[in-house]
Amino acid sequence: MTVKQHNGEGVRRAVFTPVDNRARVDTVVSRLGDAIELGLLADGEQLPGESELAGQLGVSTVTLREALMALRQQGLVITRRGRGGGSFVSLPEDPSEDRLRARLAAWSTEELRDLGDHWAAVSGAAARLAAQRTEPGDLQQLRRTLDELASAEEAAARSRVYGRFHVELAAAAQSARLTREQVALQTEVGALLCLVLGNDEYREEVSDRHRSVISAVQDGAHESARALAERCVQDSTARLITLRLAMPRTASGPRPLEGTHEQEPRPGRRRGDA
């Protein structure tokens, strides 16, 4: 498997660790699908062979083939036959601003605050543990992602890099559970961040916050790292809530975007799940 180096060993370990014993096909679909949509697996990247990937995920090859079939139906994986063939990642198209606004309108402000509280708790814990556990050399991944955010021109690219920073922060905490939880959170909130990250001034502000988190982690200032990571998330959530308050109230509960790969629910997911 040729995974882009910038994704980080900790993130890869979290993506390809064995899945839960329950609903294994659904769990494989969710695990790989989330990683693809967040850009943790690169567009066009070849996945490991079926036997190797099944072994990494701790499932049978039959289970893996069913999961890959579901991912192909969603357009997240393509399969090529013959010499040089295999299963390859297919990054979904970026949603339009109108569809993103429709998705945001499906959330109530109470739900957004609750999501933000959860996200801040996970990111804060990850930053605190990273400051306690990492060595300076372990932070190269986060610095590369910070540089990528600074150069990203499109809002969709910025939102993916923003989300990946928080996933990699959890990986730096050396916690597979926190990393997987951060991935799950980004599938809910990541696309919505396109609505606030199109602003160059805010992109610079986020870059400064991320830079401060890295500095605190490097210095071992675990409480400061926690507070900085939480503040970054809280500010982004507050911006989404401000946008939501300017919209007409609709039935609550996040909905998939029309015209995306989430048009039909993934196996094992409620239609309202992101």
Residues of the chain with CATH 1.20.120.530: 97-245
pLDDT at site 8: 67
Fold of 5-89: Arc Repressor Mutant, subunit A (1.10.10)
Question: How much is the average pLDDT of 25-43?
Answer: 82
Distance CA 107, CA 201 (A): 26
pLDDT digits (tens, 9 = 90+) for 13-24: 777 777 765 558
Closest CA to 185 of 126, 138, 245: 126
pLDDT at site 102: 87
Residue 248 has pLDDT above 60, yes or no: yes
Residue 266 has pLDDT above 70, yes or no: no
Structure tokens at 228: 């900085």
Name the more confident of 5 and 24: 24
Residues of the chain with CATH 1.10.10.10: 5-89
Distance CA 21, CA 163 (A): 27
pLDDT digits (tens, 9 = 90+) for 177-213: 999 899 889 888 888 999 999 989 999 999 999 999 9
Q: What type of residue is 36?
A: I
pLDDT at site 92: 74
pLDDT digits (tens, 9 = 90+) for 130-154: 999 988 778 998 999 999 999 999 9
Distance CA 162, CA 204 (A): 12
User: Residue 92, Cβ neighbours under 10 Å: how many?
Assistant: 17
Q: Domain 97-245 belongs to what architecture? A: Up-down Bundle (1.20)
pLDDT bucket at 122, cuts 50 / 70 / 90: very high
pLDDT digits (tens, 9 = 90+) for 38-68: 777 888 899 999 999 999 888 899 999 999 9
